[in-house]
Amino acid sequence: MKIAEIFQQKKPISFEIFPPKGELSTESFHATLSALSKLSPDYISVTCSAGGSGGRERTAVLAGSIRKDYGIESCAHLTCINSDEQMLCEDVQRLHDAGVENVLALRGDVIPGSTARVFRYASQLMRRLQAEGFCMGGACYPEGHIECADPEEDLRHLYEKQEAGASFFVTQLFFDNTCFYRFLEKARGIGVHIPITPGVMPILSKAQIERMIFTCGASLPSDIIRILYRYENDPDSLRKAGIDYAVRQIRDLQAHGADGIHIYTMNRPQIATDILEGLR
Ligand code: FAD
């Protein structure tokens, strides 16, 4: 089923996973999928290594397996910045072979030394994929993409992705809902009308947060800083407080009518389980 059709029926709860390193069909990974599928998400998206080679076939295989073996709709991420035309054609063929219907079309991050560059921007990839029949989603950034100095310009590029065929957007993680609400208002104001699903990642450790801030530039509300300070040396309490924060964040987003919720599970089904239980 196309994710655009799911959005016509409901506000989906979706999960994100990443392909495991090493042997693909490890028992533990399928245990992860099995546990996640019991939570009945509306779809599961599978990330894709931004490298032009190595490991990319796993995304298609896993996205296909989620549909076929677990009966849950899937979405395969696809990046383009480090690929040439042939690599892209191979990626697309793998997605078709695996029976994947939904693709999150992304630019990806530049790998130092890579010169492939079939496309420079996600909107170009989307135009290229239009003829392939996928339902396409795209990424968006409530606090602006880290490389773009001007948030208004970033929004114009978001609009271009809708024009290029995107049917839905999923946001980068954020901790401050007011950033999302401001962004949403501006996006709607310039004519972005497709669903925009907020992406939520619970805090689990100080190191994880430091990495996230550095790579995506998410700002930290004082509540998060207090949690990190208070439980710095108490990982169990930090995890619990992180889940509680994510539950409160999601409740607030739902109360504001958010177009679904996307949970970054970090391949830990217990995180998704605890969040969904907290929401009940
Ligand atoms: P784009 O939409 O192309 O934007 C990239 C930058 O270029 C922005 O600063 C934008 O403002 C600018 N820009 C866009 N169009 C133009 C134009 N015409 N002229 C000038 N500037 C322009 N990465 C992975 O490697 N694998 C994944 O699986 C993955 N999954 C993700 C899932 C989500 C939900 C999100 C939010 C991000 C994900 N990423 C993933 C990270 C993503 O690849 C990076 O954030 C990347 O830097 C930008 O990708 P994009 O598709 O948003 O790029």
Express each pLDDT in 5-55 by its tens digit: 999 999 999 999 999 876 656 677 889 999 999 999 999 999 998 775 557
pLDDT at 68: 97
Contact yes or no for 80/119 (Cβ under 8 A)? yes
88-102 tens-digit pLDDT: 999 999 999 999 999
CB distance 201 to ligand 1 below 6 Å: no
pTM of the complete model: 0.96
Which position has the higher pLDDT, 164 or 24? 164
Say whether pLDDT at 260 is over 60. yes
Q: How far is the CA of 108 from the centre of ligand 1 (A)?
A: 6
The helix (run of H) or strand (run of E) holding residue 65 is: helix 56-70
190 close to 159: Cβ distance less than 8 angstroms? yes
Q: Which atom of ligand 1 is nearest to the CA of 108?
A: 43
Q: pLDDT tens, 64-94?
A: 999 999 999 999 999 999 999 999 999 999 9
pLDDT of 229 over the 70 cut: yes
pLDDT tens for each residue of 209-219: 888 888 888 89
Domains and CATH numbers, the chain: 3-202+259-269 (3.20.20.220)
Q: Which atom of ligand 1 is nearest to the CA of 158?
A: 2
End-to-end CA distance of the chain: 27
pLDDT tens string 240-251: 999 999 999 999
59 Cβ closer than 6 Å to some ligand 1 atom: no
Give how far Cα 110 sits from Cα of 76, 79, 138, Å.
Answer: 19, 10, 17
Burial class (CB in 10 A: 0-12, 13-18, 19+), 105: buried
C-alpha 120 – ligand 1 centre gap (Å): 10
Angle, CA of 265, 33 and 266, to the nearest 5°:
20
- 67 CB under 6 A from ligand 1? no
121 CB near ligand 1 (under 6 Å):
yes
Mean pLDDT along residues 111-140: 92
**Whole-angstrom Cα distance, residue 145 to residue 128?**
23
178 CB burial (10 A radius; 0-12, 13-18, 19+): exposed
pLDDT in tens, 167-207: 999 999 999 999 999 999 999 999 999 999 999 999 999 88
pLDDT value of residue 50: 77
